[in-house]
């Protein structure tokens, strides 16, 4: 719906096009464009030759492309709440899908707004009421935003007030399922698509991926319109553009997983005034909780103690520098009972699974997909490779260890290999320390499955019943400790 803030702004600012140049203001502007359920390697400039993303590739061509950027959750609302607060999901109070953090949470848009920034949101919101305080305008009406969520992005830029630095939080619904026809349908021919090797290779999966890529094409199209509008308004040089996603693709093996297929996100930063306009590559480990302190530092503002991330401003000046040693992330309830924690270094990934009795088939929308159906059919006739059949494995290992350099797909579990025991013990200790310092918890009474773990969205008797939140026992929403860096 249109908030009263939005209506008031239209009344006083309709038709005003802000052409204030970068020289008219010292503080940078920020435009964050976030995709819904898009993996890092489903973008052209990240090496995918099958998907058409000319506009994202164009922005990356004069910006910084990060190759080791990780989310804190591969689940929509926990990830978005983490991004906007700079806190881990269990520290926001919204660790499970569709749970709301308390009103005393602080978002970085709120701090910007309190310090003279004009802040606007358009598209998917999917965050708590506390986050609404951060925006002058909030528009989450699907009809006005369009099916893809991007319809009002240009209008927000054109109707912003003059003379104020701005933050635009542009959140697409693309490429979240369910996929319907759109103006980009048919952009990708299923016959020309080769599915990732961990998916089935048949017609159903190819058709599924083609529709997914069409949704990404729509997201890409609006990024191009935003980019061109910023040029037209003569503010492109001093505007920090960020392009990213909230979690991995909505397919089996990806969304809700705490490996790279679920947590690694495309992340592109474009800021000619501060980072130049040559294509650059940053291989440093960066977490989604690092966005908030970075934006605040660039705006010349102090970062509150509630933020658990670190500013990566230094990487914008020199992308070749090192940054983090550790990435932490988590997976809690998303349609099905779950509790996983992970720590990742440049070389290794360690996973602790506190519900190993369950398979990791993905969320309900992935389980209901044609891609899952094709895998399921082959699994029943023993027609899958070991890696493809991983989503059906139950029970699973309680611990997993992967060597990223030699096993980038993270399928060769080294947790039982004596030669890697020292590394296993080290990362187990680091993860346990992070859980303890940040007030994480493994409740006995977690939220149960709301749906059967099979296609069809068949509800269980537990539907709409929540278990104990992971933040409850140690009051984690009041804890600001960061864990190892």
- Give strand pairing partners of 137: 120
For the packed helices 203-232 and 370-379, what is the interaxial angle rounded to 10 degrees? 150
Assess whether the previous peptide bond of 249 is cis (omega < 30° from 0): no
Q: How far, in whole angstroms, is CA 264 from its chain's centroid? A: 8
Quote the pLDDT of residue 24. Answer: 37
**First-to-final CA distance of the chain:** 40
For residues 9 and 161, the answer to whether their CB atoms sit within 8 Å is yes
Q: What is the pTM of this model?
A: 0.94
Structure tokens at 90: 């269990």
Domains of the chain: 4-12+26-323 (3.40.720.10), 328-478 (3.30.1120.10)
Sign for the pseudo-dihedral over CA of 74, 249, 99, 453: negative
For residues 366 and 372, the answer to whether their CB atoms sit within 8 Å is yes
What CA–CA distance (Å, rounded) separates 16 from 38? 34
Quote the pLDDT of residue 25. Answer: 61
Strands (E), 232-306: 239-245, 267-270, 280-282, 286-287
Q: Is 4 exposed, middle or buried (0-12, 13-18, 19+ CB in 10 A)?
A: exposed
Run of H or E including 90: helix 89-92
In 245-369, which ranges are continuous DSSP H helix? 260-263, 272-275, 291-298, 313-317, 364-367
What CA–CA distance (Å, rounded) separates 285 from 449? 33
**Three-class secondary structure assignment of 186-208:** CCCCHHHCCCCCCCCCCHHHHHH
For residues 37 and 76, the answer to whether their CB atoms sit within 8 Å is yes
For residues 308 and 469, the answer to whether their CB atoms sit within 8 Å is no
The answer for 87, left when phi > 0, alpha when psi is -120 to 50, beta otherwise, is beta
- List per-block mean pLDDT (blocks of 10 residues) for the chain, which spans 485 residues: 40 34 68 98 97 98 98 98 98 98 98 98 95 96 91 97 96 94 94 96 98 98 98 98 98 98 98 96 98 98 98 97 98 98 98 98 96 97 96 97 96 96 98 98 98 93 98 98 96
Run of H or E including 168: strand 166-171
Run of H or E including 166: strand 166-171
Nearest to 187 by CA among 165, 164, 158, 218: 218
**What angle is formed at CA 26 by the lines to CA 24 and CA 32, rounded to 5 degrees?**
100
The answer for 338, left when phi > 0, alpha when psi is -120 to 50, beta otherwise, is beta
- In the DSSP assignment, the letter for residue 284 is S
What CA–CA distance (Å, rounded) separates 60 from 64? 6
Sheet holding 64-66, edge to edge: 137-139, 118-123, 166-171, 29-35, 239-245, 267-270, 64-66, 280-282
Q: Residues 58-86, buried b or exposed e (16+ Cβ, 10 A)?
A: bbbebbbbbbbbbbbbbbbbbbbbbbbbb
Run of H or E including 81: helix 76-85
The Cα-based distances of 427 to 72, 404, 413, 432 in angstroms read: 17, 14, 14, 8
């Amino acid at each position: 719906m249109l908030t009263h803030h939005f209506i008031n702004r239209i009344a006083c600012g309709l038709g005003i096009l802000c052409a204030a140049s970068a020289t008219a203001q010292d503080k940078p502007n920020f435009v964050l464009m976030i995709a819904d359920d898009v993996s890092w390697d489903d973008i052209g400039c990240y090496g995918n030759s099958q998907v058409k993303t000319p506009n994202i590739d164009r922005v990356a061509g004069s910006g910084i492309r990060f190759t080791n950027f990780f989310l804190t959750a591969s689940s929509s609302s926990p990830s978005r709440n983490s991004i906007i607060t700079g806190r881990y999901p269990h520290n926001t109070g919204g660790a499970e899908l569709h749970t709301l953090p308390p009103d005393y949470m602080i978002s970085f848009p709120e701090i910007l707004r309190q310090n003279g920034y004009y802040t606007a949101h358009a598209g998917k919101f999917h965050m708590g009421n506390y986050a609404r305080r951060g925006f002058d305008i909030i528009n989450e009406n699907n009809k006005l935003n369009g099916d893809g969520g991007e319809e009002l992005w240009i209008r927000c830029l054109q109707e912003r007030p003059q003379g104020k630095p701005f933050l635009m939080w542009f959140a697409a619904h693309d490429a979240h399922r369910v996929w319907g026809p759109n103006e980009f349908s048919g952009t990708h021919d299923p016959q020309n698509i080769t599915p990732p090797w961990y998916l089935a290779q048949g017609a159903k999966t190819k058709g599924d991926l083609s529709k997914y890529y069409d949704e990404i094409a729509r997201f890409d199209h609006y990024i191009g319109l935003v980019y061109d509008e910023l040029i037209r308004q003569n503010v492109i040089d001093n505007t920090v553009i960020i392009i990213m996603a909230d979690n991995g693709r909505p397919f089996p093996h990806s969304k809700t997983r705490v490996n790279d297929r679920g947590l690694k996100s495309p992340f592109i930063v474009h800021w000619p005034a501060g980072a130049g306009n040559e294509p650059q590559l940053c291989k440093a480990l960066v977490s989604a909780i690092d966005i908030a302190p970075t934006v605040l530092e660039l705006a010349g503002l102090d970062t509150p103690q509630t933020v658990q991330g670190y500013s990566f401003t230094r990487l914008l000046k020199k992308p070749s520098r090192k940054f983090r040693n550790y990435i932490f992330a988590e997976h809690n309830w998303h349609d099905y009972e779950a509790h996983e924690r992970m720590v990742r270094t440049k070389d290794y990934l360690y996973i602790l699974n506190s519900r190993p009795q369950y398979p990791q088939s993905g969320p309900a929308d992935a389980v209901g997909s044609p891609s899952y159906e094709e895998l399921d059919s082959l699994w029943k006739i023993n027609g899958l490779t070991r890696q493809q059949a991983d989503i059906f494995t139950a029970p699973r290992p309680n611990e997993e260890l992967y060597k990223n350099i030699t096993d980038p797909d993270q399928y060769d579990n080294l947790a039982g290999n004596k030669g890697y025991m020292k590394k296993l013990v080290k990362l187990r200790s680091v993860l346990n320390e992070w859980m303890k310092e940040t007030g994480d918890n493994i409740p006995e009474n977690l939220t149960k499955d709301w749906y059967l773990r099979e296609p069809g969205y068949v509800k269980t008797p537990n539907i709409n019943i929540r278990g104990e939140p992971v933040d409850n026992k140690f009051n984690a929403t009041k804890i600001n400790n960061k864990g190892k860096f």
